[in-house]
Amino acid sequence: MAPLSPDWALYRSFLTVLQEGSLSAAGRVLGVSQSTLSRHIATLEKAFGLSLFTRSPDGLVPTSAALTLQPHAETLAVAAEALLRAASGMPTETVGTVRVTASEIIAAEVIAPILASLQSDHPGIVVELVVSNRLDDLLRRDADIAVRMTRPHQGALIAKRIGEIELGLYAASSYLKHRQRPQSPADLTEHAIVGFDTPLPYTRTFQLDGQVLTREQFSFRTDSDIAQFAAIRAGCGIGVCHTPLAVREELTRILPDLFAPKIGMWLCMHEDQRMIAKCRLVFDRLAQGLCAYLDQANCQL
């Protein structure tokens, strides 16, 4: 007869001690005593035949074996959270927790109003919003629904194309108040430019006259989309942002005929979630709200 696998509670205790660095801190997080946690760790060590922690003046130090086991324990924790979300509302009921993931600017400036309207109509829906760009969030069940700027190719995902977001160069009226509006790419050399600090694949979109804008050209650098948008809005300089957001904030378009790239928007969900009423409800409301944000007349719902 095969030995029984250790209880999930033991793995949760192990992971929390690993993350918090001491029994006392882990006990506060889990709401259990240090003696209980110590017993859990000892039980795991006996089951594995391994030493997981050593004591030091600074607390518990994980052994190499513990660090090797950490990603597996984290995967268990993610699965447990997904199970709890699935159980929080029956498949035919529009109640319970739905976890949505989106990029920083979409999460902060676009998704929140849509979700506010949704929860007003369906107060039984609890939303958890995760800021991330990783598609494997859905495959690993870290999230139920994702808003992404690239088309997913994983077969297990349902993907709905929402439309395209036009990007533009924009500046606040406060910035242009004492500066002449640029009439050509060459004029930008006389202006403050807001941009990224670390080049990423999507930053290749930022081109003028066939030349990619580089970090050396920026006087204000940040890899946070929210911080870039805030800097443009505050008058720090000219920068790239979503045209719908710029219109909403009454920003001034710069060189519209020379810079108007577009990026696609996709709404994704694991195929297993489509029959769960709460997930389908959130998915459909997000699709409606995002289409309205893009103002796509040809967006098929």
Q: How far apart are CA 301 and CA 291, in angstroms?
A: 9
Residue with tokens 């998704």: 111
Its pTM stands at: 0.64
* Helix runs in the chain, H state only: 8-20, 23-30, 34-48, 64-87, 104-106, 112-121, 136-139, 173-176, 225-234, 243-248, 277-294
Q: Which two tokens stand for residue 152?
A: 């997913």
- pLDDT by residue for the chain (301 residues), tens only, comes to 344 567 778 888 888 888 888 888 888 888 888 888 888 888 888 888 889 888 877 678 889 888 888 888 887 777 777 666 566 555 556 788 898 999 899 999 999 999 999 999 999 999 999 887 665 556 666 788 999 888 877 666 788 999 999 999 999 999 999 899 999 988 888 899 998 887 666 666 677 776 777 778 888 999 888 999 999 999 999 999 999 999 999 999 999 998 998 889 999 888 777 778 888 999 999 999 999 998 743 443 3
**Domains of the chain, with CATH numbers?**
8-80 (1.10.10.10), 96-164+264-294 (3.40.190.10), 165-261 (3.40.190.10)
CA distances from 18 to 13, 43, 72, 168 (A): 8, 16, 13, 46
pLDDT computed for residue 202 by the predictor: 62
61 burial (CB, 10 Å; 0-12 / 13-18 / 19+) is: exposed
Residue 236 CB-half CA count within 13 A: 18
pLDDT computed for residue 139 by the predictor: 60
pLDDT computed for residue 159 by the predictor: 87
Q: Which two tokens stand for residue 281?
A: 């409800």
214 three-state secondary structure: coil
Q: How far apart are CA 73 and CA 61, in angstroms?
A: 17
Dihedral sign for Cα 246, 225, 149, 138, please: negative
Residues 6+ apart with CB under 8 A from 228: 194, 195, 196, 220, 222, 239, 240, 241
pLDDT computed for residue 86 by the predictor: 61
pLDDT computed for residue 206 by the predictor: 72
Q: How far apart are CA 243 and CA 71, in angstroms?
A: 40
pLDDT computed for residue 136 by the predictor: 52
Q: Which two tokens stand for residue 264?
A: 């696609």
CA distances from 148 to 133, 251, 267 (A): 7, 25, 6
